[in-house]
Amino acid sequence: MKDNYGDIQVTSLPGHVVRCEICRPPNNFFDLDLIRDLADCFDDLDEAADCRAIVLCSNGKHFCAGANFVTPGEKPEGDVLAAGSADQSNPLYSEAVRLFGNKKPVVAAVQGAAVGGGLGLAMMADFRVVCENTRMTANFVKLGFTPGFGLTHTLPRIIGTQKSNLLFFSGRRIDGETAIDWGAADIFAASGSIREAAIELAQEIAENAPLALISLREQLRPGLGEAVRAATDIEGREQFWLTRTEDHKEGVQAVSEHRAGNFVGK
């Protein structure tokens, strides 16, 4: 097992647990390289006999604040999420789908923001640990386009259709306590101990029979990878044309300026 996959740092912990840490502080923005590296890491951990559970965490203020919009020199999220073409799958989502096909249980420690595709990454995990500063949002409509990263399938599966629709249509954010109430998270911990709480849960899982864990996960997530692939095919096509609209440009500008968008339907 390697120690790192690009910006993913990998550490073996006691109790057959492996920690995979995203190291792009403070915001841990994602791109194609990060998701590909994480998928490669998970593929290798599938073959690692000493790994029975994975803790996914981030080094920085936020778990994953989506993709970058405004930092000079970085690709804006519209470019990242609307790659490919109208009739071809987005390469980013092709890599994301791989994450849903892996074998080992994943516990995510979600501190700070899980925004857009960052929320999609959090929903890939089997369990989520949150804290008082956690905030989750699928704010795509505020940016003039629609959800991705399989969220149109995974979020309703986890919290139900109506609550998902509320988040999707409003673009509102929820805090850690609401995430627990809605079933979007499983354990609430203090911000200073969120990672330890995630590790404790992973170790509790990993003390059990490894073949049974893999079998159980396959039974509880039947066809999930295929369903996410179908969802991302649609999401990618919609994002492709929506990110080429005037409303998307206005949405990106509005979010960067912390104001409501002045949308015109073009």
83-102 pLDDT, tens per residue? 555 566 789 999 999 999 99
State pTM to two decimals.
0.92
Instruction: Specify the pLDDT at position 68.
Output: 72
Instruction: Specify the pLDDT at position 89.
Output: 77
Residues lower than pLDDT 70 in the chain: 69-88
Q: Which domain holds residue 95?
A: 4-192+218-256
Instruction: Specify the pLDDT at position 79.
Output: 53
Instruction: Tally the domains of the chain.
Output: 1
Report the b/e string of 242-255 with b at 16+ CB within 10 A. Answer: bbebebbbbbbbbb
Instruction: Specify the pLDDT at position 103.
Output: 96
Inside any domain, residue 201: no
Inside any domain, residue 208: no
Inside any domain, residue 203: no
Inside any domain, residue 202: no
Inside any domain, residue 171: yes
What Cα–Cα distance (Å) separates residue 47 from each residue in 51, 55, 154, 225? 8, 16, 26, 19
Domain with 137 in it: what CATH number? 3.90.226.10
Instruction: Specify the pLDDT at position 82.
Output: 52
Inside any domain, residue 261: no
Instruction: Specify the pLDDT at position 133.
Output: 98
Inside any domain, residue 40: yes
